[in-house]
Chains A and B, each alone.
Chain A
Amino acid sequence: MAKKVGMEGSLAVSEAVKLANTDVVAAYPITPQTHIVESLAEMVANGDLDAEYIPVESEHSAMSACLGSSAVGARTFTATAGQGLELMHEVLYVASSMRLPIVMAVANRALSSPLSVWGDHSDVMAVRDCGWIQVFAENAQEAHDLVLWAFRVGEDTNVLFPVMVNIDGFNLSHVTEPLLLMEQADVDKYLPVNKYPLPLHPDKPVTMGAFGPPFIYTEAKKAQEVAFQNTKETILKGWDEFEKVFGRRYSPIETYQADDAETLLLTMGSLSETASLAVDNMREQGKKVGLVKIRLWRPFPFEEFRKTVKNANVLVVLDRCLSFGGPGGPVASEVRSALYDQANRPKVVSLIGGLGGRDVTPQNFEYMVDRGLEIAEKGSDSEYEMIGVRK
């Protein structure tokens, strides 16, 4: 029986990394990710986790060290947030293109300036195209579960891609809440030994990260793209198997009261729980409102998404990130483009809020639905709208 404990979201991540018997952790501490790597450093120092902890001098070095350790076939973990993720940017592409199954937790944080250590999704949206599998967790339990799942999926020889588990900075990383801690025996049943097929080894030398002139670069990218698209099957299998072992179900798109909903709210991450409270309130008022949550952000689950929203009239998307001068929040503009060619589709309204740690309350979500319906009906002269701004 899994044990129910109270635990901070950050520690839920660290515990999963420990249960996965991770070999190498290379990380640089940054708020609000700090508790994750602090606790891992402590586990290694106390001998509770038999791993190499590499304290590096920056996030760029953290990800670079992860490349090396993953390339020899070591199970490798790191974590970062905000500016740290952006400093890693170029190395993120190297990790995915070299097909190294690194697992990284991102305690999502706003980007400077003004300097903000608080949460939003600006950091991850700036790296959305880096070729990593990307998922969002809603609470500490999901953070705990998805980290373990990430190792299994990333290291599967049908996948071999790095995986990013997004947990909202502070709202998830710093909240103590109930959690079913996984049992080591179940973890061992679920997560096989990492067997990277072509590791760096002196007995069988290989060249990694070689030169790619124009005559071969396109072919290299095509191979990567096909392999990335093909990860979906293993991603889903990873969740099926997870349910069999641990009894908790995960899906690429998840919903709350969405089946008969005329208006759908769309969120990602820890705000989804708050949004579900707003849905309950509005349902009590007789409003047919539901909630759609994107769990799997990359590869984007087009089929599941289209099926989920096709009967709604209006889809109100809350983005916690601005795309300055663009076609809307990053999520909203992707969703719009996913629906553009569909015969049955809701109107998509792009709202931006919850930036830099601004609290989003159930009342705010009720406002979003009302405002979304108004824009859907009367139209708007802008592509997107920021909410909760003092005038």
Chain B
Amino acid sequence: MPITEVRWHGRGGQGAVTSTELIALAAINKEKYAQSFPSFGPERRGAPVQAFLRVGDEPIRVRSEITEPDVVVVLNPDLFESVDVTSGLKENGILVINTRKSLEEVKATYGKGHRVAIVNAMKIARESIGLPITNTTMMGALLKVAPLVELDDMIGPLEHRFGKVAEKNITAMKRAYQEIVVEGQ
């Protein structure tokens, strides 16, 4: 597997950084090479943030931000108004969005030149975790479109990080993996 580059968009405090880190840890546990880091700078709750994830079978030497991602993950749809989330997204790349809208609606608005996948992560998170926090849910969505690690590989890192509430997050992640709607599939 060549190096897959994923860029997450969220708001400060929504857990985009945690998600990229947990997937990197899971990949490293499986003897892959992986790297994750936040958009560098002061940490401000609510401000638009990015988090970056690279996973591959060879050592990762590049440390610059991901400007031409293979996958873009968007934690909440209102970011589209303030951030150009698809910037640099590769032609055969895929945009994974947490949204209530239909695939057709999203495709018509944001689907120019790349594939789109949608999941109502907010609904899943409210039902499974009881909180409107979508970061762990969106991990399931990402892993469906980009099999960076097996879904079960995430259980260890999630349990380590979340302890007692890991179970709910794992359920949410698995639901998103099932419920995601991917263009062309």
A residues with CB within 8 A of B: 4-6, 8, 31-32, 117-119, 170-172, 174-178, 270-271, 273-274, 276-277, 357, 359-362
CB atoms of B35 and A175 under 8 A apart: yes
The B interface is mostly helix, strand or loop, or mixed, namely mixed
Instruction: Chain B residues near A360: list those with CB within 8 A.
Output: 64
Whether B25 contacts A6 by the Cβ 8 Å rule is: yes
Please tell me if the beta carbons of A117 and B42 are within 8 angstroms of each other in the complex.
yes
A175-B25 contact, Cβ under 8 Å, with A118-B40, A118-B41, A170-B40? no
List CB contacts (< 8 Å) of B31-62 with chain A. 31, 33-38, 40-42, 60-62
B28 close to A (CB within 8 Å): yes
Q: Which residue of A lies closest to B64 (CB)?
A: A359
Residue of chain B at shortest CB distance from A272: B61
Given known pairs A175-B35, A277-B61, A360-B64, the reply for A6 and B40 (CB within 8 Å) is no
Taking the nearest CB of chain B, how far is it from the CB of A13, in angstroms?
16
Residues of A within 8 A of B61 (CB): 273-274, 276-277
Residue B24 at the chain A interface, CB threshold 8 Å: yes
25 A-B pairs with CB atoms under 8 Å apart are: A4-B28, A5-B28, A6-B21, A6-B24, A6-B25, A6-B28, A118-B40, A118-B41, A170-B41, A172-B63, A174-B37, A174-B38, A175-B35, A175-B37, A176-B20, A176-B37, A178-B28, A270-B63, A273-B62, A276-B61, A277-B61, A357-B41, A359-B64, A359-B65, A360-B64
A231 to B140, CA, bound (A): 53
* Interface membership of B29, Cβ < 8 A: yes
For the complex, give the distance between the alpha carbons of A31 and B42 in Å.
8
Across-interface contacts of A362 in B (CB, < 8 A): 62
Q: Which residues of B contact A170 (CB under 8 A)?
A: 37, 40-41
A176 touches B21 (CB 8 A): yes
Q: Return the contact of A177 from the options B31, B38, B60 (Cβ within 8 A).
A: B60
Q: How far is the CA of A274 from the CA of B63 in the complex (A)?
A: 7
In the complex with contacts A5-B28, A117-B42, A175-B34 CB distance below 8 A? no
Is the pair A277, B40 in contact by a Cβ cutoff of 8 Å? no
Q: Is there contact, CB below 8 Å, between A175 and B36?
A: yes
A4 to chain B, nearest CB (A): 7
Q: Is the CB of B42 within 8 A of A274?
A: no
B40 to chain A: which residues have CB within 8 Å? Answer: 32, 118-119, 170-171, 174, 357
Establish whether residues B63 and A175, one from each chain, have CB atoms under 8 Å apart when the complex forms: yes
Interface 1/0 per residue, B95-139 and A, CB below 8 Å: 000000000000000000000000000000000000000000000
Which single residue of chain A is at the shortest CB-CB distance from B28?
A6
Residues of B within 8 A of A5 (CB): 25, 28
Q: B43: nearest residue on chain A (CB-CB)?
A: A31
Interface on B for A, CB 8 Å cutoff?
A: 20-21, 24-25, 27-29, 31, 33-38, 40-42, 60-65
- B35 in complex: contacting residue of A177, A271, A277, CB < 8 Å: A177
Please, how many angstroms separate the alpha-carbon atoms of A270 and B41 in the complex? 17
Residues of B within 8 A of A274 (CB): 61-64
Report how far A4 CA is from B25 CA in the complex, Å. 10
Residues from chain A with Cβ under 8 Å of B37 in the complex: 170, 174-176
Nearest-CB residue, chain B, relative to A5 = B28
Q: How far is the CB of B145 from chain A (nearest CB, A)?
A: 22
Asked whether, in the complex, the Cβ of B34 is within 8 Å of the Cβ of A6, the reply is yes
Give Cα A8–Cα B29 distance, bound, in whole angstroms. Answer: 15
Beta-carbon contact of A176 and B62 below 8 Å: no
**Bound complex: CA A170 to CA B40 (Å):** 6
| CB-defined contacts of A273 to chain B, threshold 8 Å | 61-63
In this complex, the member of A4, A119, A177, A270 whose beta carbon has the largest number of chain B beta carbons within 10 angstroms is A177
Q: Are B33 and A178 in contact (CB under 8 A)?
A: yes
Closest 9 CB pairs of A and B: A6-B28, A170-B40, A273-B61, A6-B25, A175-B37, A359-B64, A176-B36, A178-B28, A177-B35
Q: Do the beta carbons of B34 and A117 come within 8 Å of each other?
A: no
Complex CA–CA separation, A31 to B61 (angstroms): 24
CB-CB < 8 A to B41: which residues of A? 117-118, 170, 357
CB pair B34 A177 closer than 8 Å: yes
State whether A171 and B42 are in contact (beta carbons under 8 Å apart), knowing that A6-B25, A178-B28 are contacts in the complex: no
Please tell me if the beta carbons of B29 and A6 are within 8 angstroms of each other in the complex: yes
| Residues on the B chain within 8 Å of A270, using CB | 63
Question: Which chain B residues border A176 with CB–CB below 8 Å?
Answer: 20-21, 24-25, 34-37
